[in-house]
Structure 1
Amino acid sequence: MKESASLIKTVSKERIAEELRKLFTAKRPSLGFEIMKETGTLKYVLPELNAVIGIVQEKQENDDVFRHTMKVVDAAASDPAIQHKGDINLMWAALLHDIGKANTMRFDAGENRIVFFGHQIVSARMAAKILTRLKCTTTGVDIALVSKLIENHMFETKSFFSDKAIRRFISKVGKGDVLKLIDLRIADNRGGKNPDKIGGVLKLKKRIIEEINKKPPFGVNDLAIDGHDIMAMGVPEGPNVGKILKQLVEMVLDDPLLNTREQLIAIAEKLVDNIRGSS
Structure 2
Amino acid sequence: LPQILPEIAATVECEQSPEFHPEGSVFNHLIRILEHLPAEASPSLIWAALLHDIGKPVTASRDPHTRQIHFYGHENVGAEIARGMLERLRFPRKLIEEVAVCVQSHMQFKDVLRMRKSTLRRMLLRPTFALELELHRLDCLGSHGRLDHYEFLVEQAAQLERQPAIRPPLLSGKDLLALGMKPGPAVGRLLAEVREKQLQDELKTRPQARAWARRHLQREGATPGRELSSSKSGRQKKKT
Choose from 62, 68, 75 the match for 1:107: 62
Choose from 228, 231, 238 the match for 1:277: 231
Matches within 5 A, 1:20-35: none
**Match in the other structure for 1:202:** 151
Structure 1's unaligned 5+ residue stretches are 1-41, 79-84
Separation (CA, whole Å) in 2 of partners of 1:126 and 1:174: 26
**Match in the other structure for 2:36:** 75
Choose from 136, 148, 153 the match for 2:106: 153
Kept after mapping to 1: 8 A contact 2:124/2:157: no
Change (3 A) 1:131 1:265: same
Deviations 1:46-104 (A, max 9, x none): 221111111111124663211211222332344xxxxxx51222211111100100111
2:137 is equivalent to residue 186 of structure 1: yes
3-state SS in 1 of match to 2:97: helix
Change (3 A) 1:100 1:173: farther
Deviations 1:165-212 (A, max 9, x none): 3x52231463432222111111011111x33x2244223312222223
Change (3 A) 1:62 1:214: closer
TM-score for the superposition, normalised by structure 2: 0.81
**Match in the other structure for 1:168:** 119
Matches within 5 A, 1:231-250: 231-250=177-196
Separation (CA, whole Å) in 2 of partners of 1:239 and 1:44: 49
Separation (CA, whole Å) in 2 of partners of 1:189 and 1:248: 35
Separation (CA, whole Å) in 2 of partners of 1:101 and 1:184: 17
Kept after mapping to 2: 8 A contact 1:226/1:245: yes
Structure 2's unaligned 5+ residue stretches are 221-227, 234-240
**Match in the other structure for 1:265:** 210
Output the aligned Cα RMSD.
Answer: 2.4
Choose from 88, 92, 106 the match for 2:47: 92
The code of the aligned residue for 1:118 comes to G
Structure 1 consecutive aligned stretches of length 4 or more whose deviation exceeds 6 Å: none
**Match in the other structure for 2:237:** none
Aligned-pair identity (%):
27
2:160 is equivalent to residue 211 of structure 1: yes
Choose from 66, 76, 94 the match for 1:121: 76
Separation (CA, whole Å) in 2 of partners of 1:130 and 1:242: 35
